[in-house]
A and B are shown apart, each in its own frame.
Chain A
Amino acid sequence: MNEWLDYLLLMVPMLMMLVAVGLIITGRNLFGVVVLTSVYSFLMATVLFVLDAVDVAMTEAAVGAGISTVLLLGALRLCGWEDSKPMRHPWRKLMVSGALAALLMVGMVGLPEFSDPAATLHQHVVPRYLIDSTKEIDVPNIVTAVLASYRGYDTLGETTVVFTAGAGVIALLRRRRQQRLKHESSGASDAP
């Protein structure tokens, strides 16, 4: 009985995610599509939580459903709230996507089985992290221990990527203000 409850908690959000994505594909009103993306991120966070990935669920909820939605709405506001155009003759593209799906289904036989303690996924370095982290680091949250200490270089790279994204956005969106200052100072402005 308990197992069926777990399955239900896993399957219902996933089915809702599929419905949300279906509505996103066919939706034309961009504001509705952005709200649906936020709903999708929340459902993804729920599924991740049911799969015991608590750190990842918190990050997905904060980043995917929070920041992404704000950024998309900000960009929509700057682009005018236009509806997107309807799809014309998507048949070739549908076939390409269908071919990809078929290929992936064929490849599914090689993927690891769920909850199989002998899978390769759980061997090699993971038992060392789980067992030795008490002796070497003594931090209960193993994800933090691996992220900050065992794989600290990767996190340094990731922080640099975040910084680069910020610098890139500054570089892309900054010049306009200098143009506006030039526009205003040349006396050609009709600004209110």
Chain B
Amino acid sequence: MRHDPILQVIVRLLIPVILLFALYVQFHGDFGPGGGFQAGVIFAAGIILHGLISGLDAAKKILPERLVEAMMAIGVLIYAGVGIASLLLSGAYLDYSVLDHDPIHGQHRGIFWVEIGVAITVCGVMLKIFYMFAGRGDVDQDEE
């Protein structure tokens, strides 16, 4: 696929649009369909498309393996961290109303951070699984 000019050109035009759309879906999840899961998957799909067309190393240069592994855990930590922040501000666990000066703004802030945590984890996991599946074939060829 590296030598196919049509794919190269079209995909280079599409990938920024895909990544931008992922961010749009993430931040407009409150006002339209969308949210953390969809945004994480769409973002990972953009990077996977780049990896499919330009080779796995090109994708790994954008988001190296260590970073992706860290992303997997950081998302869950952010989510749980929002709960702990509520505890520290004398509310219940994951009670967003205490996170700001006013319950409704607190809910908005809580939902914002929680969705970001979900998106980071989902994006990291999808990318890591793709890296593992795509990077394994070379070993098989060594054995045969």
Contact = CB atoms under 8 A, between A and B. Distances in A.
Partners in one complex: yes
Interface of A: 54-55, 57-59, 62-63, 66-67, 70-71, 74-75, 77-78, 136-141, 143-145, 147-149, 152-153, 155-156, 159-160, 162-163, 165-167, 169-170, 173-174, 176-177, 180, 183, 189, 191
User: By DSSP majority rule, is chain B's interface helix, strand, loop, or mixed?
Assistant: helix
B134 interface: yes
Contact of A155 (B52, B103, B114, B124): B114
A32 to B, nearest CB: 19
B29 A78 contact: no
Nearest to B28: A141
A74 B34 contact: no
Contacts, number: 140
B35 A144 contact: yes
Interface in B1-39: 25, 29-38
Given A156-B80, A159-B75, A147 B35 contact: yes
B140 A62 contact: no
Given A67-B45, A137-B104, A162-B125, A54 B33 contact: yes
Interface residues of B, number: 53
A78 B133 contact: yes
Contacts of A136: 103-104, 107
Given A74-B130, A163-B76, A63 B35 contact: no
Contact of B33 (A70, A71, A141, A145): A141
Given A58-B33, A66-B45, A78-B133, 8 more contacts: A67-B126, A78-B136, A139-B107, A144-B35, A163-B73, A165-B125, A166-B125, A170-B69
A78 B143 CA distance: 13
User: By DSSP majority rule, is chain A's interface helix, strand, loop, or mixed?
Assistant: helix
Contacts of B32: 140-141
B15 to A, nearest CB: 14
Contact of B121 (A137, A143, A148, A162): A162
Contacts of B34: 55, 58, 141, 144
